[in-house]
Amino acid sequence: MAFKLNISVSFICLMVLVLATGSYGGGISIYWGQNGNEGTLAETCATGNYEYVNIAFLATFGNGQTPMINLAGHCDPYSNGCTGLSSDIKSCQAKGVKVILSIGGGASSYSLSSSDDARQVAMYLWNNFLGGTSSSRPLGPAVLDGIDFDIEGGTGEHWDDLAKYLSGYSKKGKKVYLTAAPQCPFPDAWVGNALKTGLFDYVWVQFYNNPPCQYSSADIANLEDAWKQWTSDIPATKIFLGLPAAPDAAGSGFIPVNDLTSEVLPAIKNSSKYGGVMLWSKYYDDQSGYSSSIKSHV
């Protein structure tokens, strides 16, 4: 009897430990696709460092434009050259990595002219990248896990409509994850309204190229204040700390590994909405080894 009791107590302790770690453990999200020298998508997932990979970018869409994906030196979409990525996507998903298509980007041509335009774009994304069907799927037959809103230009109009239409497709079977990469000044100028819908699963906030709310020279106050605002005001499942993976990856906002692990992460991980760290990008992470250095702390 005593033996059984000990087993039960040990089991309960183990469960408590698992739950406690699960509450605060986070994952790493990476952007891949904007540098042909960053390795393949399959190699990216094989590192075991990432839980989410954002394929960047569907750079042209909306307002009557023919949608076009741009994956830099990885493949040529104009000759259907990116369909071979389908096996890589499936390889990632088999490892438990969520593969998400990022739409937008910093230097692209996109906007939504109306709610109906948003509906058309959602339909295009569903049929060409998600669970729908199309004769011209740019990345082949693999079904991606969701859509990332990396909207950094144009207007802030109708992104909430796009989120609602995309979310509606979850009812057709496989869940469509919605993620976003807003800038850290709150609220975000482009996707601020969309984020209020509460439809987003993961929000990786860009705490770089934004001096008023990013970390600088051992001063965590600005970042911490912005983090608290994001985690308290945005109804998302998880919020991520978005960072450059190397000093050259952004104009400002890089956090040295020691500062991140000893100061920044301990200050933000107590939030129940803490999801982990997002890095821009795989190419820079290859140069710095940043994800490998922080993985056990995230």
Question: Nearest-CA neighbor of 233 among 211, 203, 263?
Answer: 203
Contact between 192 and 159 under an 8 Å Cβ cutoff? The reply is: no
- Bridge partners of residue 53, in order along the sequence: 30, 99
Enumerate residues 6+ apart whose C-beta is below 8 A from 156: 189, 190, 191, 192, 193
CA distances (Å), 245 to each of 56, 110, 141, 214, 298, in order?
A: 16, 26, 31, 14, 14
Residue the block writes with tokens 């450059």: 244
Which residues form the catalytic set? Answer: 152
Give the CA angle between residues 229, 293, 28 to the nearest 5°: 45
CB atoms closer than 10 angstroms to residue 184: 24
Helices (H), the chain: 2-24, 41-46, 85-94, 115-128, 159-168, 192-195, 221-233, 257-259, 265-268, 282-288, 290-294
Residue 240 sits at φ, ψ, to 5 deg, of: -115, 150
Single-letter amino acid, residue 239 = I
